[in-house]
Amino acid sequence: MKQRSKRQRLLAITLGLGLGLGAPASQAAENLVFVSGAFRRSLPVADLEHLATTGQARGLLAQGLALGKQNPTEVARMLNEKIPLPVALVSRLLNTRIGEAILERLARVIFPLNTPSVGIPALRSAMVIGIVDGKGSLSAMSFLRAYPNDNIEVSIPALMALMQKASSISDLVRFFSESPLDGLRGTTPPKP
């Protein structure tokens, strides 16, 4: 069984990264850095991990959840929620024109701090390796553990624009599934 896991990891790295041999397996995101113009606030991923494990928020995360009137237990559940995904299919999809278009939209919202040009390969890597490490499923935490950069920038303006376009989960799914087709039809979708 361990041999199969090693093969899956190697397959994930080879197919999904697009970064050559990629980062060492121990590489993981350490901070989410929320940025809007000159404003910059860093949230340690360790605090998210603590919340996901214990259901209790600490530090800046606790303050943010209290300010937003969010239930830490509910946020912990969302962080741990697993979506079953076949790694080979996801890897192939992310390397198609539609997959690239979806990754391009996501890379406008989240990308490695100070290096947005590698946002697409970083997202692809985190998704594929996150699925392998999650034994066939992806969660927010497995994605963060697999992200190949210490600091993930979250563009607040791009995130807000995305949230305005997608007022519900179904709108969000429709936004990411239909909009990339615009690029294939020869029309350019509006930037979020």
Considering only residues 22 and 145, tell me which one the structure prediction assigns the higher pLDDT. 145
For the chain, what is the domain count? 1
Label each residue of 125-141 as H, E or C.
HHHHHHHHHCCCEECHH
d(C-alpha 96, C-alpha 100), whole Å: 6
Considering only residues 45 and 176, tell me which one the structure prediction assigns the higher pLDDT. 45
Burial profile 78-114: b = 16 or more Cβ within 10 angstroms, e = fewer: ebeeeeebebeebbeebeeeebbbbbebbbbbbbbbe
Provide the 3-class DSSP secondary structure of residue 179: helix
Is 168 inside a domain boundary? no
| pLDDT exceeds 80 at position 1 | no
Is 141 inside a domain boundary? yes
Is 66 inside a domain boundary? yes
Opening angle at CA 36, ends 39 and 80, nearest 5: 100
d(C-alpha 95, C-alpha 86), whole Å: 15
Q: In Å, how far from its chain's centre is CA 26?
A: 17
Could you tell me which residues are beta bridge partners of residue 42? Answer: 33
Is 186 inside a domain boundary? no
Structural domain that includes position 23: 2-156
pLDDT on residue 9: 47
Is 99 inside a domain boundary? yes
**pLDDT tens digits along 39-88:** 999 999 999 999 999 999 999 999 988 988 999 999 999 999 999 999 99
pLDDT on residue 28: 83
**pLDDT tens digits along 124-175:** 999 999 999 999 999 999 999 999 999 999 999 988 887 777 655 555 556 5
Is 185 inside a domain boundary? no
Is 93 inside a domain boundary? yes
| pLDDT exceeds 80 at position 176 | no
pLDDT on residue 186: 46
Is 134 inside a domain boundary? yes
151: exposed, middle or buried (C-beta count within 10 Å: 0-12, 13-18, 19+)? Answer: middle
